[in-house]
Amino acid sequence: MKQYKILFFIADGLGDRPVRKLQGKTPLEYVDKPNIRELLKNSIVGLMDPISPGVVPGSDTSHLSMFGLDPHKYYRGRGAFEAIGAGARLKASDVAFRGNFATVNNEFIVVDRRAGRKIEEADDLVKELNEKIGEIDGVKVRFYHGTEHRVAVVLSGKGLTDKVSDTDPHEVNKKVLESKPLDNSPESQFTASIVNKLTHKIYEVLNSSEINKMRVSKGELPANIILLRGAAEFVELPQFESYTKLKAAAVSATALIKGICEQIGMRVVTPPGATGGLDTNYLGKADAAIELLKEYDFVFLHLKATDAASHDGNIDGKVYAINKMDEMIGRILDKFGSELVIAISGDHATPVEVKEHTGDPVPFLLYVPYSIINDVVNDFNEREVRRGSLRIRGLDVINLLLNYSNRAEKYGA
Amino acid sequence: MKQYKILFFIADGLGDRPVRKLQGKTPLEYVDKPNIRELLKNSIVGLMDPISPGVVPGSDTSHLSMFGLDPHKYYRGRGAFEAIGAGARLKASDVAFRGNFATVNNEFIVVDRRAGRKIEEADDLVKELNEKIGEIDGVKVRFYHGTEHRVAVVLSGKGLTDKVSDTDPHEVNKKVLESKPLDNSPESQFTASIVNKLTHKIYEVLNSSEINKMRVSKGELPANIILLRGAAEFVELPQFESYTKLKAAAVSATALIKGICEQIGMRVVTPPGATGGLDTNYLGKADAAIELLKEYDFVFLHLKATDAASHDGNIDGKVYAINKMDEMIGRILDKFGSELVIAISGDHATPVEVKEHTGDPVPFLLYVPYSIINDVVNDFNEREVRRGSLRIRGLDVINLLLNYSNRAEKYGA
């Protein structure tokens, strides 16, 4: 049986609800998509719940699930995945925290939980912290800057656990909290003591930093503490190739998605001009996928623009991004004709009038380059795919792709 | 985003099969339901398997599941839930048994496993037992009367387990069994010894009871023992508000359902005239739900009449109850217009010609008071909802309700 290569195209936040400005159509219904429509001649389609019906996915839990990794097993909290998104590459038993640059007075009372939010010097502050705090009691400490006031802090070493409480009091005019062990293990006691020493060390470094002196002299709040929350132990992710036998690569410009793909061993490419925004280099991403498909069995192509427009409530932007998405598919079809298995979906719905993720199911399309019983539908959108045969969960995706590319191994004899 | 209140309406045993007397229609197909049909203009519909496909649910396991609590985790046997249905409120590690009032001779040989079944004095016998047997070896003992000859016995104290065998020989002309430990733990040894002492104590109290002397003088069998079976340790149920963030109340007249709702912290209301039978106060229950919806985020409205008619094989009765059910929905819509998220389903099928629960999926409807892609179906019944988009499990219900009421928390980032 001929084995086909696989293109898996995710338009982030693709799913939507009827939009008044689009005459009650969803953006996917509104946009004419001649290239995707062409695929429908030999596709099975339907709805996918990235996690399970009604559960509102994050992009992290959803991608884990669609890559075949059950988030209930591998997702231990946002800390670890925020760190991955901020550039950290984690090892089993690393413990990661989400953190805010914040402002405290000399009694450790929180004056501003975000030190004014926009902190232009955040990268430099993180660099200074990494230089001046290498380790504490044998535990390696690394800092990563996310966006605005957000940082991730990763502890690596023996005897660590995520069973410790936050130092973030989650309110102003409260004192920075002591981290407490959340169970009776020596690991929690040890980790809490590291976190508390670290908090004082961070204050020491930041409060005497020249950068903060400059901020104060400009009338800005000093970013003189990091409030930590959401301790999460990283559970080592299996390597994608080990459980799929697929040589895999990804095209993405989004830090969190790139991080997840790298952690599971995919080669990750961000072509020039790819931004993760509406201004991204759509066809450049398609071309990058085309190049990778020459060498790899499986190429994951991630488009963030649809989600970015949705979070901004930018209806025209979402319509534009979906038009571009169809062009990307067209470009790939021009090169590969009907030689690929192609899946197209979203990692969750971000209805453009809601501006947040919702737990609605997302349309899913699976094109197969040989004769199958195809689902007879007229378009690829939230309404029309309900007439298709698929009603799957994110965890089913990889199995479907392996099956229809003739690469699945029999489960049993 | 506006957060909506939620009405969750369960008609017990609603699901059915084609009924000859109804020209091959199910009762739900047969009844014209103008109010529910109105909801279909903006609903998603489909089939729900309360546990999983083909599993025949009890009302207890089904309700646990629909309230978001996996029965495979929280349901340790009927004993505990029979006790709850008989009025007991349990704490973690209480051990409950199902029991029968029965008749033994003076050699402890079972003469009648139900002491004639109808035992008018059962409440008084239970009262006498509770007065005369307060505790045994430091273990608190409580008795509860169910229906007819059925009782529940609850043990509370330290060092108890449900790993002990029944005293019920399950046959007449056999001796009452000794309870035996089912593993090697000291807890099972201790619990078995309590159960055996308790059995003798029960005989002592009942055999010398004036009530039984009266029964014998009337030519009736004395209810002079309780045969125990189905030991079940109660697993503390999480509080509904803790995992849903919903302030919740329930309207029900059925002891088991009321018990489950109370155990998970809902406020429970039984309006005057609500009976759990066909003669219940249908509109009184709707009015009670309307009142509660003013104060609570989530109101569970339980109608038993559909199941009662089904168990009796009463086709006209089930048709009548479904007509009334539609009136109840109408009453609620009159008050709340389109301001509610409304789910309607059954906790299982009780086909009226089968007269018992079956594992068939049940129709499920979810009405949303804002624009969504609705499923285009003409009626709410077993046949028509198959054209809808939902094929869910009981455990998905709460997630769907939270999502579409805009109350869900994102799983991930």
What DSSP string runs through A159-189? T--S-B--S--SSTTSBPPPP-BSSS-HHHH
- In this complex, which of B390, B403, B411 lies closest to A358 when CB atoms are compared? B403
pLDDT at B343: 98
pLDDT at B147: 84
CB B188 within 8 A of CB B219: no
Residues of chain A positioned with their CB less than 8 A from the CB of B392: 53
In this structure, is the dihedral angle defined by the CA atoms of residues A238, A244, A245 and A248, taken in order, positive or negative? negative
Extract the residue ranges of chain B whose pLDDT is less than 70: none
CA distance B301 to chain A (A): 21
Amino acid at B96: A
* Residue B201, both tokens: 């104590």
Q: CB within 8 A of A37, min separation 6: which ones?
A: A379, A380
Amino acid at B316: D
Yes or no, beta carbons of A17 and B373 under 8 Å apart: yes
State the first-to-last Cα distance of chain A, in angstroms, to the nearest integer.
19
3-state secondary structure of B16: coil
In which element (H, E) is residue B30 found? helix B27-30
CB B387 within 8 A of CB B376: yes
CA distance B401 to chain A (A): 7
- In this complex, which of A55, A75, A356 lies closest to B399 when CB atoms are compared? A55
3-state secondary structure of B65: helix
Residue of B nearest to A74 (CA): B412
Cα–Cα distances in Å, from A248 out to A63, A88, A235, A267, B87?
Answer: 15, 21, 21, 7, 59
How many angstroms from the chain centroid is the CA of residue B273?
Answer: 20
- In this complex, which of A55, A85, A386 lies closest to B411 when CB atoms are compared? A55
pLDDT at B148: 87
* Residue A376, both tokens: 């007879």
Residue A189's φ and ψ, nearest 5 degrees, are: -60, -45
pLDDT at B1: 83
Cα–Cα distances in Å, from A146 out to A84, A118, A275, B383?
Answer: 10, 12, 16, 52
In this structure, is the dihedral angle defined by the CA atoms of residues B288, B293, B297 and B302, taken in order, positive or negative? positive
Q: Is A70 on the interface with B (CB under 8 A)?
A: no
CA distance B60 to chain A (A): 22
Reported as half-sphere exposure (CB side, CA atoms, 13 A), residue A195 has a value of 34
Q: Is A18 on the interface with B (CB under 8 A)?
A: yes
pLDDT at A146: 87
- Cα Rg of chain A (Å, integer): 23
Residue of B nearest to A359 (CA): B403
pLDDT at A76: 84
Q: CB within 8 A of B93, min separation 6: which ones?
A: B160, B233, B234
Q: List the alpha helices (DSSP H) in B208-238.
A: 210-217
Amino acid at B160: L
Amino acid at B36: I
How many angstroms from the chain centroid is the CA of residue B92?
Answer: 19
CB A56 within 8 A of CB A357: yes
Residues of chain B positioned with their CB less than 8 A from the CB of A60: 412-413
- In this complex, which of A17, A26, A56 lies closest to B411 when CB atoms are compared? A56
CB B380 within 8 A of CB B37: yes
Yes or no, beta carbons of B372 and A53 under 8 Å apart: no
* Residue A411, both tokens: 């489960």
What is the C-alpha to C-alpha distance for residues B30 and B381, in angstroms, rounded to an integer?
9
Q: Which residues of A83-95 are buried (b: 16+ CB within 10 A; e: fewer)?
A: bbbbebebeebbb
Yes or no, beta carbons of A53 and B399 under 8 Å apart: yes
3-state secondary structure of A406: coil
What is the C-alpha to C-alpha distance for residues B77 and A216, in angstroms, rounded to an integer?
65
What is the C-alpha to C-alpha distance for residues B275 and B282, in angstroms, rounded to an integer?
10
Give me the tens of pLDDT residue by residue for chain A, a chain 413 residues long. Answer: 899 999 999 999 999 999 999 999 999 999 999 999 999 999 999 999 999 999 999 999 999 999 999 999 999 888 888 899 888 999 999 999 999 999 999 999 999 999 988 899 999 999 999 999 999 999 999 999 988 899 999 999 999 999 999 999 999 999 999 999 999 999 999 999 999 999 999 999 999 999 999 999 999 999 999 999 999 999 999 999 999 999 999 999 998 999 999 999 999 999 999 999 999 999 999 999 999 999 999 999 999 999 999 999 999 999 999 999 999 999 999 998 779 999 999 999 999 999 999 999 999 999 999 999 999 999 999 999 999 999 999 999 999 999 999 999 999 98
CB A240 within 8 A of CB A222: no
Residue holding tokens 């309360």?
B50
Q: Is B42 on the interface with A (CB under 8 A)?
A: no
The DSSP string of A77-138 is -HHHHHHHHTT----TT-EEEEEEEEEE-TT-BEEETTTTS--TTHHHHHHHHHHH--EETT
* CB proximity under 8 Å: B 343-382 to A: 371-373, 375
CA distance A63 to chain B (A): 10
Q: CB within 8 A of A175, min separation 6: which ones?
A: A107, A108, A109, A110, A169
* Residue B139, both tokens: 């273990």
What are B237-250's pLDDT values in tens digits?
A: 999 999 999 999 99
**Strand partners for A151:** A99, A145
What is the C-alpha to C-alpha distance for residues B307 and B285, in angstroms, rounded to an integer?
16
CB A363 within 8 A of CB A45: yes
What is the C-alpha to C-alpha distance for residues B179 and B136, in angstroms, rounded to an integer?
16
How many angstroms from the chain centroid is the CA of residue B246?
Answer: 21
3-state secondary structure of A389: coil
Yes or no, beta carbons of A18 and B389 under 8 Å apart: no
Cβ neighbours of A367 (radius 10 Å):
25
Q: CB within 8 A of A238, min separation 6: which ones?
A: A69, A264
What is the C-alpha to C-alpha distance for residues A1 and B383, in angstroms, rounded to an integer?
40
The DSSP string of A66-92 is HTT--HHHH---HHHHHHHHTT----T
- In this complex, which of B375, B403, B413 lies closest to A54 when CB atoms are compared? B403
Residue holding tokens 């504490």?
A136
CB A161 within 8 A of CB A187: yes
Beta strands (DSSP E) in A12-56 are 43-49
What is the C-alpha to C-alpha distance for residues A163 and A187, in angstroms, rounded to an integer?
8
Q: Which one, of A155, A165, A146, A169, lies nearest residue A201 by Cα?
A: A155
pLDDT at B309: 97
Q: Which residues of B153-192 are buried (b: 16+ CB within 10 A; e: fewer)?
A: bbbbbebbbbbbbbbbbeeeeeebbebebeeeeebbbbbb
Q: Which one, of B9, B5, B6, B59, lies nearest residue B302 by Cα?
A: B9
| Cα-based torsion angle of the residue sequence B368, B373, B378, B383 in order, rounded to the nearest 10 degrees | -90
In which element (H, E) is residue B260 found? helix B255-263
Amino acid at A68: G
How high is the ipTM of this complex?
A: 0.89
What is the C-alpha to C-alpha distance for residues B237 and B244, in angstroms, rounded to an integer?
13
Residue of B373, B390, B398, B400 to mutate for A, most A C-beta atoms under 10 A: B373
Residue B204's φ and ψ, nearest 5 degrees, are: -55, -50
3-state secondary structure of A158: coil
Q: Could you tell me the domains of chain B? A: 5-72+238-404 (3.40.720.10), 80-233 (no CATH)
Yes or no, beta carbons of A54 and B408 under 8 Å apart: yes
CB A93 within 8 A of CB A233: yes
Residues of chain A positioned with their CB less than 8 A from the CB of B398: 54
* Residue A403, both tokens: 């099956």
Q: Which residues of A9-30 are buried (b: 16+ CB within 10 A; e: fewer)?
A: bbbbbbbbbbbeebeebbbbbb
Amino acid at B145: H
| Cα-based torsion angle of the residue sequence B104, B105, B111, B114 in order, rounded to the nearest 10 degrees | -30
Q: Is B413 on the interface with A (CB under 8 A)?
A: yes
Amino acid at B207: N
β-pairing, A150-156 vs A95-104, is antiparallel
Residues of chain B positioned with their CB less than 8 A from the CB of A363: none
